[in-house]
Homo-oligomer: A and B are copies of this chain.
Amino acid sequence: MKIGELARQTGLTTSKIRFYERIGLLKTVDRRSNGYRTYPPQAALILGLITTAQRAGFTLDEIRTLLPSDLQHWDRDALMDALTRKIADIEALQARLAESKAHLLRLVEDIQARPDDMDCAANAHRVLTNVLMTPSENLDVTPDDVRLLDRTDRRLSVSRGRSKKVVSP
């Protein structure tokens, strides 16, 4: 199948598919005599795997090292290892998010709970002091959380562009 067909099947853009090939992520591709790429049906499967893995928080780099050339022969140990680590990353992230959320909720309450006899400036000072009281000792999260975040991000941002820049025509 040609690249357009593969794009239709997988819902990816042709540019993305070519990009994956360029970075060595998608190797099941041949060329016809005219230079056109041609893919086996399996390619759609592989692209599906890539997208799924990405959604689970893997970087394309991680995916590349994990994806075997032959879908029948995975490196089970490496795979399990990566999966386990990724789960731990998610858990750390969940903890961090819970903290952030709690912090924000506290802040909201704090702002609303202004004593009736206090003016805005004084209230601002009070809230401000409370906000900055947070010892910030709780930021020690592993960089793997970061990877996960990074990954999850881009993929979604494509889905709906609210901050699209308008280029002058």
Contacts and interface: CB of A to CB of B under 8 A. Distances in A.
Contacts of A91: 101
Contact of A152 (B76, B94, B96): B96
Interface in A12-56: 45, 48-49, 51-52, 55-56
A87 B72 contact: no
Interface string A103-142: 1110110011000000011001100100110101001111
Interface residues of A, number: 62
B159 A124 contact: no
Nearest to A125: B72
Contacts of A152: 96, 100, 146, 149
Contacts of A157: 143, 146, 150
Contacts of A84: 108
Contacts of A121: 72-73
A51 to B, nearest CB: 8
Nearest to A141: B156
A146 B49 CA distance: 22
Interface of A: 45, 48-49, 51-52, 55-57, 71-74, 76, 79-80, 83-84, 86-87, 90-91, 93-94, 96-98, 100-101, 103-105, 107-108, 111-112, 120-121, 124-125, 128, 131-132, 134, 136, 139-143, 145-146, 149-150, 152-153, 156-157, 159-163
Contacts of A142: 160
